[in-house]
Every structure is written in C-alpha cells, then in structure tokens.
Amino acid sequence: MINKTVLITGGARGIGKAMSEAFAKEGYNVLINFNKSEDEANELYTKLSEKNFYVKLFKADVSNRVEVENMIDYCVKEFGGLDVLVNNAGISQDKLFTDITDEDWDRMMNINLKGCFYCSQVALKYMISEKKGNIINISSIWGISGASCEVHYSITKAGIIGMTKALAKEVGPSNIRINSIAPGVINTDMLSEYNSEDINVLVEETPLMRLGTPDDIANCAIFLASDKSNFITGQVISPNGGFVI
C-alpha cells in the first residue's frame, strides 16, 4: 500500500479521470478536483469509493487563488499531506490568431498557465517545508511544435514547459521533482473542436496510427510519480505515438 496523496486538477473528466482511477488503483489517496463537472465528479467518486479507494472531491476553479488555497488546505488536513500534484486542468480553443479577443486570451492564460502557477506555488509552500514533493504538469505536443489556429493554447503549453524546467532547478535542492507530460492527440472531449476529417488526418500523421487514450497518459503520470523515476526532473515526456519526434 502506497501511503501517499495525489491531487489531480480537472480530475473528473478525460485524461484527469483516467489519472484519478489509475492513482487510486495504485493505492494513493486521491483528491479529485473539478470545476464545472459536478455530476461526472460524483459518479467517479461513487465508483471509486465502492471499490474502497480513499478518494475525495473538491470543487475549485484553478484560476482563482483563494479557491486553490482552500483546496490545498483541505487536502493536507483531510489526507495528512500532499505528495504529488498533477496540474492537468486545461481548456483549448480553435481560433485564427487574428480573431482571438482579449477575453479569449485572458481565459486561456488564466486557466492553463495561471492555474498551474497558483496550484504549484501553494503546493510548493507545503512541499518545501516537508522537503519532499512531486509535481507533474500536463503540457501538450502543441507546446513543443506549435499548432495553427491554437496559438494562445500553444503559448500556455510552451509556458508550462518553461515553468517545469525553471522550477525543477529552483526546488530540486528541496528534494522536489517537477516534470511535464506533453500528450499527443488523445481521445477526450477536448477533440470535439475537430471534425472527423481533421481527426483522420491526425491519425494518419501518427506513426502508431491511432489516437492516444487517457490511459496512455495516466500510465506515464504513474511512472513520474513513482520512485522508479527518482532521478528524473525538469524533463518533458511526450506520449504521442510518434507524432512529434
């Protein structure tokens, strides 16, 4: 039994849901954050609790500092600590660069980048005092290679990689590891912005000839959270089927 606690932002749907399930199965205590998906969160809570996994839910908008502080306080009080933070919550938007409004820009930066900043900063205050911790930031291949019509999204995902590398240097001496996962095209609700033709093209451009699954990413997160990756920090691992090499 692993006596560790993980907090997964956006943990009730898509990749986050697969990670909540995978970490619970590994024996972690799991705090599942959600913002809008209350029904999905309750359903997942019931499913995992019935299997006697120790999971809790917390509603918070990651772009709101006070809500993030309350969530991490709750995690430490309820589970007695916070060992692993997975910054997974994120939004995407398919829009021509010339059409992006100030509101689009701010929303993208606030959720994808500031959310990661708030959760990491608040968690790190606790982790540094404990002299241990592990943060996994979910970036994207588009943060590495750039996506047409998703410039503001690509910027946030590239920013997450920068944050991962810089923070890994700053907090490594406190025995805290920070890594990033940059998924390829993963079959979740986020793909609803693409039509089936776009998706076929993406599959054809993927050497392994398929979309990724949320489990492909969850398996990677389990590895990065485990002692098997003890000497890995500041790195970007990209499960993408060979789409970006």
Q: Binding string, 206-245, against ligand NAP, x = CB under 6 A?
A: ----------------------------------------
Binding residue (CB under 6 A) for ligand NAP from 119, 127, 186, 225? 186
Q: What distances in angstroms separate CA 5 from CA 34, 72, 153, 176, one per listed residue?
A: 17, 11, 30, 15
| Residue 153 falls in the annotated catalytic set | yes
What gap in Å lies between CA 221 and CA 211, rounded to an integer? 18
Q: How far is the CB of 168 from ligand NAP (least distance, A)?
A: 19
The nearer residue to ligand NAP, 10 or 133, going by C-beta atoms, is 10
- DSSP summary character for residue 186: B
Measured at the alpha carbon of residue 187, what is the angle toward residues 183 and 191, in degrees to the nearest 5? 95
Q: Which stretch binds ligand NAP (CB under 6 A): 13-21, 118-126, 167-175, 227-235?
A: 13-21
Binding residue (CB under 6 A) for ligand NAP from 63, 180, 206, 233? 63
- DSSP summary character for residue 212: B
Alpha carbon distance, N-terminus to C-terminus of the chain: 37
Q: At what angle do helices 151-171 and 115-130 cross, to 10 degrees?
A: 10
Binding residue (CB under 6 A) for ligand NAP from 154, 188, 206, 233? 188
Q: What is the DSSP string of 142-159?
A: HHHH--TT-HHHHHHHHH
Are the CB atoms for 111 and 154 separated by under 8 Å?
no
Interaction residues for ligand NAP, span 101-140 (CB under 6 A): 111, 138, 140
Q: How far is the CB of 68 from ligand NAP (least distance, A)?
A: 9
> 42-46 — which CB contacts under 8 Å span 24+ positions?
44/11, 44/12, 44/17, 44/20
Interaction residues for ligand NAP, span 140-179 (CB under 6 A): 140
Please report which helix (H) or strand (E) contains residue 56, including its range: strand 55-59
Q: Which stretch binds ligand NAP (CB under 6 A): 43-51, 61-69, 118-126, 163-171?
A: 61-69
CA 42 to chain centre: 20
Binding residue (CB under 6 A) for ligand NAP from 5, 88, 120, 154? 88
Examine residue 30 and tell whether it contacts ligand NAP (CB under 6 A).
Answer: no
Are the CB atoms for 83 and 26 separated by under 8 Å?
no
Binding residue (CB under 6 A) for ligand NAP from 23, 34, 45, 117? 34
Binding residue (CB under 6 A) for ligand NAP from 5, 6, 7, 12? 12
Name the residues that contact ligand NAP, by CB under 6 A.
9-10, 12-16, 33-37, 61-63, 88-92, 111, 138, 140, 183, 185-186, 188-191
| Catalytic machinery residues | 153
